[in-house]
């Protein structure tokens, strides 16, 4: 690198690259490092969800709503090419208890700016003709959207490169340089790089990166599987999932939680997510999990019973104990910023998180307070 960058971003996933794009737009010169290539971690292992429907009122919902709109602005700004689609969500409830919970959630969400139409049988089956006839209640979320995260990240990265930013793949960070409580650069297998600002956007692997600087982030992997069908004629037209999914996302149980999220894609395949398990970085495929996902998907859409499964893949979502992302400056090391721990919502939350972090670095006021996401919330835990 001829000139020292203004900021080094560790991780070329959707979070790191959208942060770098935000900083580039603000006039900073960025250097992005990744031990793999662009979007080679969790970013490429998800469905590309940009959801507001699955969030309970609170700071994460505010962040999700801003991000959702920012995705559409970004689509305009960089000329598209990442399959952004206002796919819309349909959340269904199958039990009386579920209906009650869903109606309470939508009432609260509407007060926070979410468009959520409570719908009944006829409307529901008009939206999704193949939905099980036994399902009578649901909510329609027109703001839920979707993109192809790999392409989105790659397109953002090429926009950054066009504006003078740099990316080095295959660069594993082995050390973070700190002098007098201030970060000064990083050490990698590809050399040493100096910058006054270092951003930890290493996702599921953000904990070990924080450790390199002598800091602490309790981010751990939560394993998820996704089933992919063979291409079919269009059968499912929105993102459809059971209201129980919201409870699963927020669950603190380490056991397996599954709640099928079913959707058709432009390529003709049907995707079925999403399991959540805390089993570390366990490799291999657990066929019990796949079976449960298939069962739940068929309960929603009986027609899927005859559709063939083609592939299954796995990803590790980065989660923090309180399920909120970590966005902000390290409490102990000046100039070290974290943007990680977005769990299964990283694609959806990326542009908002990037904006929040960038505003923080530049000392500007932002669209919302980042207090709830502050890395300092773990300091008390560390003291124990």
Q: CA distances (Å), 146 to each of 51, 81, 266, in order? A: 8, 13, 11
At its nearest, how many Å lie between another protein and the CB of residue 14? 13
Among 121, 172, 253, 267, binds another protein (CB under 8 A): 267
Provide the β-strand partners of residue 187: 175, 192
| 256 binds another protein per the rule CB under 8 A | no
Among 298, 333, 345, 350, the residue binding another protein under the rule CB under 8 A is: 298
Residue of 77, 285, 362, 382 interacting with another protein (CB under 8 A): 285
SS3 112: coil
3 state SS for 278-299: CCCCCCCCCHHHHHHHHHHHHH
- Strands 182-188 and 220-229 turn out to be unpaired
In whole angstroms, the minimum distance from the beta carbon of 247 to another protein comes to 22
Do residues 224 and 315 touch, judged by C-beta distance below 8 A? Answer: yes
Q: Which is nearer to another protein, 67 or 229 (CB)?
A: 229
| Interaction between residue 107 and another protein (CB under 8 A) | no
Q: Under rule CB under 8 A, how many of the chain's residues touch another protein? A: 41
197 contacts 176 by C-beta, under 8 angstroms: no
How far is it, in rounded angstroms, from Cα 177 to Cα 194?
8
In the range 145-174, which residues lie near another protein by CB under 8 A? 150-151, 154-155, 157-158, 167, 169
Among the residue ranges 88-96, 128-136, 251-259, 267-275, the one whose residues contact another protein (CB under 8 A): 267-275
SS3 263: strand
Calculated CA dihedral for residues 246, 247, 249, 250, nearest 10 degrees: 120
**From candidates 40, 194, 366, 379, binder to another protein by CB under 8 A:** 40
Q: Which positions lie near another protein, rule CB under 8 A?
A: 37-40, 44, 150-151, 154-155, 157-158, 167, 169, 227, 229-231, 267-268, 272, 283-288, 290-291, 294-295, 297-298, 304-312
């Amino acid at each position: 690198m001829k000139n020292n960058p203004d900021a080094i971003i560790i991780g070329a996933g959707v979070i790191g690259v959208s942060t770098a794009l935000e900083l580039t737009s603000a006039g900073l010169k960025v250097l992005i490092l990744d031990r793999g290539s662009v979007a080679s971690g969790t970013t490429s292992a998800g469905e590309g969800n940009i959801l507001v429907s699955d969030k309970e009122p609170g700071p994460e919902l505010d962040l999700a709503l801003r991000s959702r709109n920012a995705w559409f602005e970004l689509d305009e700004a960089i000329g598209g090419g990442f399959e952004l689609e206002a796919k819309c969500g349909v959340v269904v409830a199958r039990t009386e208890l579920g209906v009650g919970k869903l109606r309470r959630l939508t009432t609260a969400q509407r007060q926070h700016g979410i468009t959520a139409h409570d719908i009944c049988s006829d409307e529901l089956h008009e939206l999704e003709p193949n939905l099980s006839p036994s399902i009578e209640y649901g909510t329609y979320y027109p703001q839920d959207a979707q993109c192809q995260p790999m392409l989105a990240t790659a397109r953002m990265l090429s926009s950054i490169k066009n504006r003078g930013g740099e990316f080095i793949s295959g660069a594993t960070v082995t050390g973070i340089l700190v002098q007098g409580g201030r970060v000064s650069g990083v050490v990698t297998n590809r050399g040493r790089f100096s910058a006054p600002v270092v951003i930890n956007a290493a996702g599921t692997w953000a904990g070990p990166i924080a450790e390199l600087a002598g800091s602490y982030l309790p981010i751990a992997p939560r394993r998820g599987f996704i089933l992919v069908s063979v291409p079919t004629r269009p059968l499912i037209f929105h993102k459809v999932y059971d209201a129980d999914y919201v409870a699963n996302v927020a669950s603190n149980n380490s056991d397996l939680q599954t709640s099928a999220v079913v959707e058709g894609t432009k390529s003709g395949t049907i995707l079925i997510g999403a399991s959540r398990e805390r089993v570390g970085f366990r490799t291999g495929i657990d066929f019990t999990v796949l079976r449960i996902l298939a069962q739940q998907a068929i309960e929603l859409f009986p027609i899927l019973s005859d559709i063939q499964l083609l592939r299954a893949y796995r990803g590790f979502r980065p989660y923090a104990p309180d399920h909120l992302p970590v966005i902000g400056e390290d409490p102990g090391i000046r100039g070290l910023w974290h943007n990680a721990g977005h769990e299964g919502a990283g694609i959806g939350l990326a542009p908002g998180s990037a904006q929040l972090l960038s505003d923080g670095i530049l000392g500007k006021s932002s669209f919302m307070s980042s207090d709830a996401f502050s890395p300092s919330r773990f300091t008390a835990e560390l003291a124990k």
